[in-house]
Amino acid sequence: MKIGIIGGGAIGLLFSSYLSEKFEVTTLVRRQEQADQINSNGVTLKKDGRSATVASKSEVLAKSKMDFHLIIVAVKEYDLDHVMDILLKSDCRIPLLFLQNGIGHIGRVKNLPHLTLLAGSVEHGALKDSDHSVNHLGLGRTNLSIIRGEWGVVEELLVEHIKNFPFQIQDDYEEMLLKKLYVNVLINPLTAIAGVRNGRLPDNPHFQYLQQQLFEELHILYPQMRGRIHFQQIVDICHRTAENRSSMLKDIEENRKTEVETILGAILVKAQQENHFVPIMRTLYELVKGIEREGQGD
Report the catalytic residues: 180
DSSP per-residue letters across 27-43: EEES-HHHHHHHHHH-E
Between CA 93 and CA 77 the distance in angstroms is 23
Between CA 43 and CA 55 the distance in angstroms is 7
Between CA 68 and CA 294 the distance in angstroms is 42
CB 234 within 8 A of CB 187: yes
Angstrom distances, CA of residue 40 to CA of 15, 45, 52, 132, 158? 18, 15, 15, 9, 30
For residue 120, how many other CB atoms are within 10 A of its CB?
Answer: 25
DSSP per-residue letters across 156-207: HHHHS--TT--EEE-S-HHHHHHHHHHHHHHHHHHHHHHT--TTHHHHSHHH
Between CA 117 and CA 228 the distance in angstroms is 24
